[in-house]
Chains A and B, each alone.
Chain A
Amino acid sequence: MNPTELERQADALDAYLHSAAEENIPDLPLEEADLAQSIRQSVSNWIPDRQFSNQLAEQLIAKNKHAN
């Protein structure tokens, strides 16, 4: 059975999201790909507060040491 157009687009979008190289991917839905990249670009700036990440790291190390 041949994949539908929607399935081909879904496969192309998935390939685009996980490809490192700038490839020309047939059937890629450009607007959705563009939106996904914009979201990734935006969330890459959502970095946990350093104080929070350090405290959690210490908490995990202490818990792990205690468990061992």
Chain B
Amino acid sequence: MQKDSTDIYEQMIKLEEEKLVGSALASPEAFGELYQRYLPQVYRYHLAKSGDINIAQDLTTQTFISALEGLHSYRGQGSFQAWLMGIARRKAAFYFRSHRPAIKLEEADGIADPSPSVEHRAFARIDLATLSRALKQLPPDRAEAVYLCVISDLTSREAGAVMGKSPGAVKMLLLRGLRDLRELLRNNSTEEER
């Protein structure tokens, strides 16, 4: 039941995306709609990975420019968002191959959630610096599953397309990644309390 409704939802999104991509190939304004729709997911992905606003902006710019330049190569086999996040992932990988991760913690600490929901009490205060630092300590595939499925909102099928893995494998990576992350955040907060 759950799977069916998710499938229908994914199909609807895909049809809408295909229309938008078709329009974007013909008109600059239509690419603007795709840009507005996916800017937050791409930006958050790069921000969580880098922990640095300037790097996140730079990689976001590179991602969208590459997407625009390569739009004609998107053939609609998977979702547009998965295709776009694949570009984002390659841009980040290329960047981090040639740069050591540099988290400007004093800057990043300013992006804490100002109004955490009461119902999310266990980990209510997760700021960028803490999250970014903790994610870097996870095995890369587990961290990637968290970046894509939690931070950028991809389904396990879409994340699987980006990572070259089956949806089932992504689900397991995500569960294990969140489990590792939970332990790391707990340990960090215990150390801070000492």
Contact = CB atoms under 8 A, between A and B. Distances in A.
A14 B176 CA distance: 12
Contacts of A43: 44, 48, 151
Nearest to A3: B168
Contact of B31 (A9, A19, A46, A64): A64
Interface of A: 6-7, 9-11, 13-15, 17-19, 23, 25, 29, 31-32, 34-43, 45-49, 52-53, 56-57, 59-61, 63-65, 67-68
B81 interface: no
Interface of B: 2-3, 5-6, 9, 24, 28-29, 31-32, 35-36, 39-40, 43-44, 47-48, 53, 57, 60-61, 64-65, 68-69, 111-114, 116-117, 120, 122-124, 126-128, 131, 146, 149-151, 153, 155-156, 167-168, 171-172, 174-175, 178-179, 181-182, 185
Interface centre among B29, B39, B47 (most CB of A within 10 A): B39
Given A14-B149, A19-B6, A34-B120, 8 more contacts: A15-B2, A18-B9, A19-B2, A19-B5, A48-B43, A60-B64, A63-B65, A63-B69
Secondary structure call for the B interface? helix
B44 A64 contact: no
Contacts of B178: 13, 29, 32, 35-36
Contacts of B31: 60-61, 64
B122 A10 contact: no
5 contacts: A29-B178, A41-B116, A52-B57, A63-B65, A64-B68
Contacts of A9: 175
A37 B120 contact: yes
Contacts of B111: 45-46
